[in-house]
Amino acid sequence: MDSIAGKKPGLTWAVNLSVLAMVLLWIFPTLGLFVSSFRTGDQIVASGWWKALFPAEQIVQLRVADPDENRVERDGVFRVEGNFFLTGELTGEIQAFGVSSRDLGAHAPGEAADMGDGESLAVNADGSYVWSGSDDQISGRGQRVFVTATVPPDFSLDNYDTVLGEGVVQDLISWLVGAALVGIAGFLALRALLPAHGPVLAVGAALLYGAFALIAALRAGLVGTTPFVATGLVVVIAGAAYVLVRRAMPEAARTMAWVLGITAFAVFVTDFGVGTGVGAATASEDMAKAFMNTLTVVIPATVIPILVAAFAAYALAWMDFPGRALLIAAVVGLLVVPLQLALIPLLKLHNEVGIGKGYVGTWLAHTGFGMPLAIYLLRNYMVGLPRDIIENAKVDGATDFQIFVRIILPLSFPALASFAIFQFLWTWNDLLVALVFLIDSSGQTTVMTKQIVEILGTRGGDWEILATSAFVSIAVPLIVFFSMQRYLVRGLLAGSVK
């Protein structure tokens, strides 16, 4: 009687532990990458990212000021004085110092290190130092000093400046925080003032957005105000349209909301995200171009295969014709063919047909490579739809096309969405297909992945740039994933249970 419902299974803790382990396994490296993206290359080589979060005792190699410019003579003794804290070379607390690489912590702060023949160097706890000796000794390069110091954690946004352009991240963050604050304040105010929610709220929010665009324009010093005003106007007009549509056709409001959201996103991206130079945020020109090129590749390369595959899947699932089973088997077989096999023949074909290297060729290639999975996934989902509905429709005189458009397509939405996510992520992250079919030697076509590889440099190895780029390029897929993930969860089960 152990397995009676209501009794807790004995191994729950094992399940919980394994889930915890899996979550940690995923979070730990991601967090490491995130922390690393705020560190310099030298810091990454010197210590692990987990140490970066705490003050650490470090031995810092410093050099006193150049004697040729800074030395002062007094009674035949030459001196160079300075302060490591004031020059910004050192932060934290000095524990010890040394002048030879063989004995790094030889002296306590305040003590003078004797370097022989009357030459000496003293470093004090306040960072000041005195290097004194004869004319000959105090010349050439500044003396090396090894200072053992407790250094506070040190992070910078330099990597993001390298990847995106100067100051882009700071501007984006301050803009987002500002937008969120204004949005929340506006929402609370409206709710308090107007108990009747609905249309008025929408108009209010649109007006608020317009007002905020004006504030943003002021913040940018009224330079290039037009796009900001335009943004506000677009949103106000769209908001008004939304209200009208909502009144007239309530069922279309949902679609309208999506359109509005996408418009707002596009406006946001064009205004603040990338390289217009009108806002305070100006992404590096190359990255902006690569971002737009990537979108140009990804959106058609996601939409085209879905369109084609949906038709094919319907035919393979519900239309009777000889050889159908063989065709399905062929499609399944194609799933295992590595796309690398097709690179040269396909590019040859494109050259012969006259498409050459370019967007059209890239869309076609992505479509072709994505097609087997798309057809397989959609066909398995569609074949699981209730036969009765389709037969009823046929009895009522519906053609195959009508059945497809009116019945199958709406019902298959989860499968379509899940494939769209897969295809979007794969084309977004793709470098190989872009290199082969898109990027020619004219240098005009580039995509994000290629741009990131280029920033990494000829011999690679700039881990800090790699970590930063990973977080930059993940942004758009994250938005897509989170906005569509509820379909993914449903869609992943597509075809698995009949």
Shortest distance, position 428 Cβ to another protein, whole Å: 16
- Site residues for another protein, 284-303, by CB under 8 A, read 285, 288-289, 292, 295-296
* Residues in the chain, overall count: 498
Segment interacting with another protein (CB under 8 A) among 129-137, 249-257, 347-355, 467-475: 347-355
Instruction: Establish if 123 lies at the interface with another protein (CB under 8 A).
Output: no
Instruction: Establish if 101 lies at the interface with another protein (CB under 8 A).
Output: yes
Give dist(CA 361, CA 195) in Å, integer.
55
Query: Which one among 182, 253, 456, 474 touches another protein, defined by CB under 8 A?
Result: 456
For residue 98, the surrounding DSSP H or E stretch is: strand 93-98
Instruction: Establish if 356 lies at the interface with another protein (CB under 8 A).
Output: yes
Query: Which one among 30, 150, 255, 351 touches another protein, defined by CB under 8 A?
Result: 351
Query: Which one among 226, 442, 482, 497 touches another protein, defined by CB under 8 A?
Result: 442
What are the strands of the beta sheet with 93-98, ordered from one edge?
56-63, 144-151, 93-98
Coil, strand or helix at 162 = helix
Query: Which one among 226, 444, 497, 498 touches another protein, defined by CB under 8 A?
Result: 444
Shortest distance, position 319 Cβ to another protein, whole Å: 35
The total of other beta-carbon atoms located within 10 Å of residue 344's CB is 10
Tokens of 41: 């290359």
Binding mask of the shown chain, residues 300 to 339, with x at each position contacting another protein by CB under 8 A: ----------------------------------------
Under 8 Å between Cβ of 399 and 273 = no
Q: Which amino acid is at 283?
A: A
Binding mask of the shown chain, residues 227 to 266, with x at each position contacting another protein by CB under 8 A: ---------------------------------------x
Residue with tokens 């898109």: 438
Coil, strand or helix at 141 = coil
What are φ and ψ of residue 45, in 5° steps? -70, -35
Contacting residues for 10 by C-beta, under 8 A, at least 6 apart: none
Query: Which one among 393, 398, 453, 484 touches another protein, defined by CB under 8 A?
Result: 453
Q: Could you list the beta-strand ranges (E) of 16-55.
A: none
For residue 256, the surrounding DSSP H or E stretch is: helix 253-268
Among residues 231 and 380, whose Cβ is nearest to another protein? Answer: 231
Q: With CB under 8 A, what is the number of residues at the site for another protein?
A: 57
What are the strands of the beta sheet with 128-133, ordered from one edge?
72-74, 77-83, 128-133, 120-123, 112-114
The residue ranges that bind another protein (CB under 8 A) are 40-42, 45-46, 59-61, 100-102, 104, 141, 144, 146, 266, 270, 274-276, 285, 288-289, 292, 295-296, 343-344, 347-348, 350-352, 355-360, 435-436, 439-444, 450, 453-461
